[in-house]
């Protein structure tokens, strides 16, 4: 079975940032999936589940209400590994082109007075939210993006080196 693209990224070398994960042709157009990585995989603690849930609600609401981007947003949600989020947008843009959007989204969390959509009829786990920690993670990531905006490594995935033998066997780096 072919290894999917997101598993070919060297997770030992990835840093927090905004990365192009994949592009797909859909209905005559392009949709792009971005990896919005807040934590270094396998190196630092993951995002707390309740805080990630709150960030999902707050930032999804921000993105879907942003005047310039709301018609481009298809999806915003957490990664299963809890080191970041996926953003799917219509069209094809380089990660640097969505930097300002992502920075504004994470900065907006500081102004949140509550988490939108947390009533039982709106949310599948309405009691699992932590606004205080969501604000902390959002500020940490926004500050990191600001401090590192000129570094290419926060916009370009590190790739794993794969040795492939003549008979097609694939060996993975460690």
pLDDT, one tens digit per residue, over 35-90 is 999 999 999 999 999 999 999 999 999 999 999 999 999 999 999 999 999 999 99
Residue 158: per-residue pLDDT: 83
pLDDT, one tens digit per residue, over 91-102 is 999 999 999 999
pLDDT category of residue 159 using cuts at 50, 70 and 90: low
pLDDT category of residue 15 using cuts at 50, 70 and 90: very high
Give the separation between CA 39 and CA 89, rounded to whole angstroms. Answer: 22
pTM of the complete model: 0.89
How deeply is 62 buried, as exposed, middle or buried, from its count of CB atoms within 10 A (0-12, 13-18, 19+)? buried
Q: Indicate whether 5 pLDDT > 70.
A: no
Residue 6: per-residue pLDDT: 67
Give the separation between CA 76 and CA 60, rounded to whole angstroms. Answer: 6
Check the CA dihedral 51-56-61-67 and report its sign. Answer: positive
């Amino acid at each position: 079975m072919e290894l999917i693209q997101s598993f070919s990224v060297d997770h030992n070398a990835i840093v927090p940032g905004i990365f192009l994960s994949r592009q797909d042709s859909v209905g005559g157009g392009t949709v792009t999936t971005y990896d919005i990585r807040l934590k270094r995989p396998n190196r630092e603690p993951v995002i707390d589940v309740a805080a990630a849930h709150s960030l999902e609600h707050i930032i999804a609401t921000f993105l879907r209400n942003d005047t310039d981007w709301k018609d481009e947003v298809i999806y915003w949600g957490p990664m299963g590994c809890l080191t970041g989020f996926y953003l799917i947008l219509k069209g094809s843009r380089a990660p640097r082109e969505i930097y300002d959007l992502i920075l504004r989204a994470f900065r907006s969390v500081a102004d949140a007075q509550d988490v939108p959509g947390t009533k039982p009829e709106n949310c599948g786990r309405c009691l699992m939210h932590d606004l205080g920690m969501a604000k902390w993670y959002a500020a940490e990531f926004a500050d990191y993006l600001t401090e590192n905006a000129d570094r290419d490594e926060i916009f370009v995935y590190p790739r794993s080196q794969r040795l492939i033998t003549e008979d097609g066997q694939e060996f993975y780096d460690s």
